[in-house]
Amino acid sequence: MNRLQAVRGMNDILPDEAERWEAFETIVRDWLRAYGYRPIRMPLLEHTPLFKRAIGEVTDIVEKEMYSFEDALNGENLTLRPEGTASCVRAVTEHNLLYDSPRKLWYMGPMFRHERPQKGRYRQFHQVGVEALGFAGPDIDAELIIMCQRLWDELDLMGVKLEINSLGSTDERKLHRSELIAYFEAHQAELDEDARRRLHSNPLRILDTKNPAMQALVEAAPKLADFLGAESSDHFAAIQDMLRAANIPYRINPRLVRGLDYYNLTVFEWVTDQLGAQGTVCAGGRYDGLVAQLGGKPAPAAGFAMGIERLMALWDSRQADALIDRPEAYVVHAGSGSQQVALRLSEGLRDAGFAVLMHCGGGSFKSQMKRADASGANVALILGEDEIAAGEVTFKPLRGGEQQRVSMDDVAEHLGMLLLGGDSEDFE
């Protein structure tokens, strides 16, 4: 029989890598707690109209990237979530979480988009999403950006650069929109198929094109910035003041419009040139209309999402590996009666809080010691017939240090001292 394979664009994250992901997630949780964000977990499946309404009918995601299907059992139209903001706002509205105070929420998990798989672009990928609901900004907009910088610093990421823009208000976008349509109509011949289709339904989206042949045209298009009124300009200026005060360099990118329709005022992206074409590691902005659009009582909101695969590709794997906890002891045992003693010893050490790998599957001392070495444990605890007869355990440090016999009663204490004692550079 032929071997089964994972669905294209959907990756297994194997143990070496999964441990690095866990190290990353621990840093992320601590970082979010430091800013007062609380977790929320939404389902992976939602009713399809949620995403159509939130993200917009005329967007890449809704037009061509969603995994939508009809539930064979009850005929409901369902979609695997392509992003988290829509679900988060749906949940907040459904459970009336904004009734007495604003909310700072975060989530992490898989998202699904039917895109062409390539480095940094997958069909199942993962995001950390951060949403501040009920805050009008601009202070929270600036804080959202500043907190990203803190994470990059904690991860020691180099060369992640901030781009910002303002999308203004609905009315301002309307004015810009008609100018944009007139401009693109005057250049009909240069438009690609997507652009021609979107010309009248969603011309702003044309600015988000990834088609190299259209870049010059889009570069010279009317800029939304020229249509912003005083209120929008002030909001944008206030954010920039705060970014300057926080010493965060930024570039205003007038072409930054984001691929989702729900944004207004502030939008931002963190980009790097180290990941080829898939250079955006984090993106977000303000979405003041979305809560009402999904049936909630109107409430301002802003947030961002970062792509975990892209961040993991940037993060130095050595730094991640240094944060991974290995087993502290590997119990090696052979000879009659050793099985029970090994089991009792291992459970006793776990009671005392140690991470212990007990050798399973038999084999010679030599082969067991090989496994012990490969496990990454700090020390092998050896139980042979000699040791068992004497009521002792042989400690064999696996990363340098002298072998030693220790009484069974003192094993936990000795292990604790050994781990703390700096016998090896790992325990400093």
Least Cβ distance, residue 278 to ligand ATP (angstroms) = 6
C-alpha distances out from residue 83 to 42, 127, 135, 287, Å = 11, 8, 21, 14
Amino acid identity, position 48: T
Instruction: Provide the 8-state DSSP code for 319.
Output: H
Our finding on whether 125 is near ligand ATP (CB under 6 A) is yes
Query: In this chain, which of 52, 176, 205, 310 binds ligand ATP, going by CB under 6 A?
Result: 310
Options 15-23, 173-181, 303-311, 371-379: segment touching ligand ATP (CB under 6 A): 303-311
| CB of 9 vs ligand ATP, minimal distance in Å | 8
Residue 280 binds to ligand ATP (criterion: CB under 6 A)? yes
Which amino acid is located at 389 in the chain?
A: A
Alpha-carbon distance of 140 to 132, in angstroms, equals: 8
> Does residue 281 interact with ligand ATP by CB under 6 A?
yes
Which amino acid makes up residue 362? G
Residue 55 lies near ligand ATP (rule: CB under 6 A): no
Determine the Cα–Cα distance for residues 56 and 27; give it in Å rounded to an integer: 33
122 part of the interface to ligand ATP, by CB under 6 A: yes
Report CA dihedral (409, 411, 416, 417) to the nearest 10 degrees: 90
- Cβ contact 382:393 at 8 Å: yes
| 104 makes contact with ligand ATP (CB under 6 A) | no
Q: Is 236 one of the binding residues for ligand ATP (CB under 6 A)?
A: no
Q: Map the footprint of ligand ATP across residues 141-200, applying CB under 6 A.
A: none
Provide the sign of the torsion angle of the four alpha carbons 35, 39, 43, 47, taken in this order: negative
Beta-ladder partners of 67: 80
Please say whether the dihedral angle defined by the alpha carbons of residues 226, 232, 236 and 238, taken in this order, is positive or negative.
positive
Contact 297, 270 (CB under 8 A): no
The residue behind tokens 């980009």 is 271
The CB-of-371 to ligand ATP minimum distance in angstroms stands at 36
In the block, residue with structure tokens 């939508």 = 68
The Cα 128–Cα 306 span in angstroms is 5
Q: Which is nearer to ligand ATP, 18 or 343 (CB)?
A: 18
Give the helix ranges, DSSP H, for 187-337. 193-198, 203-206, 215-219, 230-245, 290-293, 308-314, 317-322
Q: Binders of ligand ATP among 370-409, rule CB under 6 A?
A: none
Q: Return the residue nearest ligand ATP (CB atom).
A: 307
Question: Would you count residue 115 as binding ligand ATP (CB under 6 A)?
Answer: yes
CB of residue 270 to ligand ATP, shortest distance in Å: 8
Q: Which of 187, 251 has the CB closer to ligand ATP?
A: 251
Q: Which amino acid is at 309?
A: E
Closest distance between ligand ATP and the C-beta of residue 125, in Å? Answer: 3
Least separation in angstroms between residue 111's CB and ligand ATP is: 7
Shortest CB 315 distance to ligand ATP, Å: 13
Q: Which stretch binds ligand ATP (CB under 6 A): 18-26, 211-219, 279-287, 323-331?
A: 279-287
CB distance 301 to 288 below 8 Å: yes
Residue 424 tokens read as: 């090896």
Residue bearing tokens 């929420």:
105
* Selected binder of ligand ATP within 20, 52, 113, 359 (CB under 6 A): 113
Question: Which lies closer to ligand ATP via its Cβ, residue 40 or residue 418?
Answer: 40
Name the residue nearer to ligand ATP (CB basis): 84 or 137.
Answer: 84
Choose the binding region for ligand ATP from 11-19, 113-121, 138-146, 389-397 (rule: CB under 6 A): 113-121
**Chosen residue from 127, 166, 209, 346 binding ligand ATP by CB under 6 A:** 127
The count of residues interacting with ligand ATP (CB under 6 A) is: 19
- Between strands 356-358 and 45-47, the pairing is unpaired
Residues that bind ligand ATP (CB under 6 A): 83, 113, 115, 120-122, 125, 127, 259, 278, 280-283, 305-307, 309-310
